[in-house]
Amino acid sequence: MNILIAGGSGFIGKFLSNILPANHDVTLLSRNSNLVNNAYTSVLIWENLNENVISQFDIITNLCGYNISDSRWSNRIRKKIIDSRTKTTHKLVELIGSKNIWLINASAIGFYSFSSKKQDERNFLKTEPSNWSFCQHITNQWESMVTSSNVRKWTILRFGVVLDNGGMLAKLIPSAKIGLGAVIGDGTQLISWVSLNDLCRAICFIIDKRIHSKAINIVSPKASTQRELIESLCVSLNRPRLFKIPKGIVLMLFGQMGKELLLASHNIYPTLLTDYGFQFNDTSINSCIDKIITGATQ
């Protein structure tokens, strides 16, 4: 099949493009024509994308979105986070229309209310929009661009925190290496995570099994506490874990971003993936982080 990956030069897209089966022709959709990646058959520039060009593709995978943890959430950054997701998705659904093109669109487990209670695609806490977190505002706007469109075939991917030698761990490793790995708050907040390898394997699985018209959680079956994650990282790096950052300091430094991304809990389960028979390779936070650190230092 001919697959177009929007946002394919990022953390997830680079890995995905390398593990997609060789029987697919994979094109990168980018704003930069100079990007080179041997996994891509070609590079397509956004300004050259139109209805005729998009008709060449069987699947559009949309991974576009400004990283929500890059900057404190000022009004400008909030708008950038939302626009980077909704505007690109809007353009794609408009061009796809009712064509026989399958749109696989990224989202996040921010769709779910923060809670330590286990939630999945079928059973989750329902809240009124007036009580939504910012993460819920982002994901609901993002997903509705797809579900309320004329697109005939779509799949929404709700990612958990993605672990590999990049992403969140890239921010934690430098401080942990010098003995500054820290428990945040009381450390009991739950993190629903997934290894980058399992996430991209899951996308390949969804394509192979033709799973569409569904929103699918891509998270490891077992959530981790923040304390477990940071202590696993420190053990793998053979460094002490000496520090704790109190909740008040987190809120003072990061505001709502800290409250939602650092202090709140998500305990999300991948029910649909497991029902379809997908097998996760990385289900232990300890072994997952150790594998990442070992691979990065070899």
pLDDT for the residue numbered 21: 87
| pLDDT value at residue 9 | 86
Res 36: pLDDT: 62
According to the model, what pLDDT value does residue 35 have? Answer: 66
Phi-psi category of residue 161: left, alpha or beta, with phi > 0 → left and psi -120 to 50 → alpha: beta
Topology of the domain comprising 2-297: Rossmann fold (3.40.50)
For 133, left (φ over 0), alpha (ψ -120 to 50), or beta? beta
Q: What is the pLDDT of residue 297?
A: 55
pLDDT of residue 22: 86
- Among all chains, which residue has been given the structure tokens 């930069």? 32
pLDDT score at 296: 61
Sole residue written with tokens 């769709």: 111
Tokens of 210: 């033709």
> What's the token pair of residue 156?
């929404």
Q: Is 236 helix (H, G, I), strand (E, B) or coil?
A: helix
- What is the residue extent of each domain of the chain? 2-297
* Model pLDDT, residue 10: 87
**Cα–Cα distance, 257 to 263 (Å, whole number):** 9
User: Which of 289, 292, 297, 280 has the alpha carbon at shortest distance from 218?
Assistant: 280
pLDDT for res 38: 67
Two tokens, residue 268: 């999300």
pLDDT beneath 50: ranges in the chain: none
